[in-house]
Structure 1
Amino acid sequence: MDAPRIDSLFAQLFHSLDEAAPMQQLCNRVAQHFGCAVALISDSGEVLATVGALPLSPLRSHAKRIDDTTQEAITSIGLWQLHHRVIELATQRCLLTLATHRNDPAVLHLDQVAAIAAAITAAGAFERAQAHRSLNMMAQVLRDLARGIDRSHEHHYWPRMESFGFPAHHPFQVTIAVPRNSQHATTARLLHLIDDAAEQRIGLLISHQLVRTTAAGAVHIVTPATSSARGWLHAKFSDALVTHSSEFQFLEDIPRALHEAESTLKLAQQIRDYSADDHVPAPLGYASLPLTAWAASALPQRELFERSRTVLAPLDETPQLRETLLTYLQCGMHIPRTAQALFLHANSVRYRLERIQRLCGVDLQSAIDLANLTLMLLPELWCCCEVGRKAAKTQFLIP
């Protein structure tokens, strides 16, 4: 096949692709034009597009084995003759397979395979550019809403929200996720989440770290306030700190929702920091926080820390007293249970509690002093024993 014919074939395949699904439409055109089956599989084994009844299982295994030495090959499976071509698609390497039946008069030439591979590579670049534009639009809308809008202007934004999959005027919530692995917050990762949310029919606004947040690597997300959206988020960010705002009805409340999610995130970070095994806390929701946890998340963190240090600093040199105080609070101020948990005699616990009262200047019989100590030690109370872990699972999980 000569060069003009290849150029003409490329233009014919690539002309007027549907912006919503360019890759699948292009594969449909290739299958129709050449009378072949088509499979496009990433080197991770993900099927990106397919046309025809190809045996995908062995093709996925083959795609996972491609390396720098693999470029093109012709193999066979049963009655299928397979033309393989390795192509670079966006940020991943993929295996393009074109298959014809041995008894079929249709024959694929190498230059035709090259033209098809070039067209699919171009479609991938086009699809990638579309996804980048969508991510940039989401980020811009989220920045506008984060600055605050008047309710009278909401009608300008809801059509855009609907284009991102949101039901019109449906309650929404803001989520902040801070992945443990920085790779989970890359642009490629966010683009994948956008595609997956569209497939699952979940409304989504997503952006990298906004100026408001103090968490490096944070991802800001707005979704409909539904159990399916929350479940999707928890599955996609299972190894991340995740916090949710309350549910809101009006877009003018986005700044308030961001503040709620961010203040809850500060509490989640403290809980993680006090966890001995680097345990990632369960997702926290601002609306379901108990009053003490809500107060800890809402208070200025620096001032809370400084006031806590003023009271608890005397225990720095006596870690066994700090452990006794934590266990005492976790055991409901019950001395026998505290003694059992610490493998001590009850009189030893009483002696330690008296020392704590003298050193810290508190009265463990005072409801106010007990409330203050609970607030100061909340992250440790949450993480350091089975009672804290049970509370995290039963009281603070988003339903």
Structure 2
Amino acid sequence: MEQGTGSNPSLADQAAELTLTLKVTNLLLNAVSMEEPVKALVGRVADLCHGAAVVYDADGAIVESSGEAPTRLIWNEVAASHATDQEFSIGRWHLRTRTVALHDGVHVLAIGTRSEDLLPRLGDVLLDTAERMLAAVNGIQHGASLRDRRDNAHVLATLQDGVLPSREHRHWGRLAQYKFPSYVPLRALEAAAPGGESATEAHVQRLIDSAKSFGVALLVSIRRLNQETPATISAVIPAAGRAEAWLNHVAQTLTVGTSAPFGALAETPGAFREAETALEIARSRARSFAADAGPATATEIVRLDEVDLATWLLSQVDGQQLLARMRPILHELRDADTLHATLVTYLALDLNISATAQAMFVHANTIRYRLGKIEELFGEPVTSAAFVTNLYLCLQSPVLGRQRALGHQHDVAAAG
């Protein structure tokens, strides 16, 4: 019987294709064991097609690339179509692309060459093999990432439970695995999602990714007190290097409270109590800002070692007892919204009548009249240091929110 007739490939063709597939597989397999397997894999694919290879994420950001292909133009072609596999040309470049689903989301693999006859011979083999290798590498990295996350959270939990001073050196050795310099001062931090939402693993992953890009060592985990209370994020970071810049970056999307820097690991439980206090202050300020003029999802950052004396004193008092002492003063203002707003703005602008009038779009004499009514209401002059101090302590949260709102309005006006 004759072979190789009709549409069926001959045994020789099948053997040649199998040999080619095994050769490509063997060359790409070597990349998996490299220190940066995705980079090595993409480099090997680019070498095999004598051109370029690119891996994009779902948004078109380049995960890894090798070669000099027009990467932005390639992505524009990919984004214009929903096809899983595409074949097209850009100038002298002949290209094949494939959409692949990996553990960390959808990606696009693109290969390109200036040789017209190479992709018809190697395109399918390269894309099929590279897709399988990428999935394998991604799976290995995903598993390693999960194990690392569990170990990271376990180290953090151990520190939160408290360690004996005599065993600190052993725990510093464990911190070194996560790139913490030995005996560097640390900060504990608590972070919350805006709007009263619960923190999620996605928030944690973004923290991990951003800390890595900033070069900041990080221990982190989700903290859940109960089913009714929104989860927050607990973390430990160095109190040095780029950690401060990273904290400011994090505070753009999360409300953050941090402890004062501490040096002994045995102090970690107390540091987290400080961080919880700082987070409550930050939440209160964010709510006040949002209520005044800010966005509903306003965020804030408070470092407990940087708060003023009034804020620190207020944070140390039992909330119910504090409210009981504040109630008589707040009661006098309950039905006087205009006087309340005037007083808050006056305190926010450091008792400056002209600035208060400008912020409230009224004449300065109107502010003086209202301040006179406040003096009548309380029987105290607004020039009295003791009276002003008591008012500030009672109204600190809305005063700070008003200060931030006025600064925000100024920034918006300047930008416009």
TM-score, normalising length from structure 1?
A: 0.82
Paired with 2:338 and 2:161, the residues of 1 have a C-alpha distance of 48
Which residue does 1:321 correspond to in 2? 339
Classify the secondary structure of the residue corresponding to 2:76: helix
Taking structure 1 as reference, are residues 289 and 166 closer, same or farther at Cα in structure 2, changes over 3 Å only? same
Output the amino acid matched with 1:317: D
Residue identity opposite 1:101 in structure 2: R
How many residue pairs get matched?
A: 385
Partner deviation per Cα, 1:208-267 (whole Å, 9 max, x = no partner)? 23549x972422232211252221232244132222221111222222221222111111
* Alignment partner of 2:204 out of 183, 190, 207: 190
Q: State the alpha-carbon separation in 1 of the partners of residues 34 and 174 from structure 2.
A: 17
Instruction: Specify the alignment match of 2:172 in structure 1.
Output: 158
Tell me the SS of whatever aligns to 1:372. helix
- Correspondence list, 1:1-399, <5 A: 13-14=28-29, 17-18=32-33, 21-32=36-47, 35=50, 37-65=52-80, 67=82, 70-102=83-115, 107-180=121-194, 185-211=199-225, 216-226=230-240, 228-275=242-289, 276-279=292-295, 280=298, 282-330=300-348, 332=350, 343=363, 344-345=365-366, 348-349=369-370, 351-357=372-378, 367-385=385-403, 389=407
Query: 1-side partners of 2:191 and 2:151: how far apart?
Result: 20
State the distance in 1 between where 2:286 and 2:191 align.
Answer: 14
Asked if the contact 2:255–2:299 (Cα under 8 Å) also holds between the matched residues in 1, the reply is yes
Instruction: Give 1:277's aligned amino acid.
Output: A
- Equivalent pair of 2:346/2:352 in contact (CA under 8 Å): yes
Encode CA deviations 1:73-116: one digit per residue, 9 max, x unaligned: 22223333222110012242111012233168684142442122
What secondary structure sits across from 1:102 in the alignment? coil
- Of residues 176-185 and 304-313 in structure 1, the stretch that sits farther from structure 2 once superposed is 176-185
What amino acid maps onto 1:92 in structure 2? Answer: G
2:11 corresponding residue in structure 1: none
SS at 1:294's partner residue? helix
C-alpha contact 1:22 1:127 (8 A) present in aligned 2: no
| Structure 2 residue runs without a partner (length 5+) | 1-13, 412-416
8 A Cα contact 1:175 1:221, kept in partner = yes
Alpha-carbon distance, 1:4 to partner: 7.4
CA separation of 1:330 and 1:185: change in aligned 2, threshold 3 A = closer
Change (3 A) 1:327 1:101: closer
Structure with bigger gyration radius: 2
Q: Cα gap change, 1:227/1:284 in structure 2, threshold over 3 Å: closer, same or farther?
A: farther
Distance change >3 Å, CA 185–CA 123, structure 1 → 2:
farther
Secondary structure at the aligned position of 1:384 is classed as: helix
Q: 2: CA distance between counterparts of 1:282 and 1:80?
A: 50
Residues 237 and 72 of structure 1: CA distance in aligned 2, closer, same or farther (over 3 Å): farther
Q: 1:64 to 1:196 in 2, by over 3 A?
A: farther
> For the Cα contact (< 8 Å) 1:41–1:63, is it kept in 2?
no
* Separation (CA, whole Å) in 2 of partners of 1:123 and 1:89: 10
CA contact (8 A) 1:382 1:389 kept: no
8 A contact 2:49–2:112 mirrored in 1: no
Work out the CA distance in 1 between the residues paired with 2:152 and 2:172. Answer: 13
Q: CA deviation at 1:182?
A: 9.0
In the alignment, the residues of structure 2 paired with residue 81 and residue 184 of structure 1 have an alpha-carbon distance, to the nearest angstrom, of: 48
Q: Give the C-alpha shift of residue 379 in structure 1.
A: 0.7
Equivalent residue letter for 2:259: S
Provide the C-alpha distance between the structure 1 equivalents of 2:159 and 2:273, rounded to a whole number of angstroms.
13
After superposing the two structures, state which structure 1 stretch, 12-21 or 155-164, moved more.
Answer: 12-21
Amino acid corresponding to residue 352 of structure 1 in structure 2 = K
Contact 1:241–1:281 (CA under 8 A) maintained in structure 2 = yes
Considering only aligned residues, what root-mean-square deviation do their CA atoms show, in Å?
A: 3.6
SS of 2:242's equivalent? helix
Pick closer, same or farther for the CA change 1:291–1:33 going to 2, 3 Å.
same
Distance 1:26 1:233, change over 3 A: farther
CA contact (8 A) 2:262 2:271 kept: yes
Percent identity of equivalent pairs = 23
Note closer, same or farther for the CA distance 1:306–1:389 as it changes in structure 2 (3 Å cut).
Answer: farther
Check the 8 A contact 1:43/1:63 in 2, yes or no.
no
Preserved contact between residue 221 and residue 233 of structure 2 (Cα < 8 Å): yes
Is the partner of 1:157 in helix, strand or coil?
Answer: helix
Shift of 1:117: 0.7
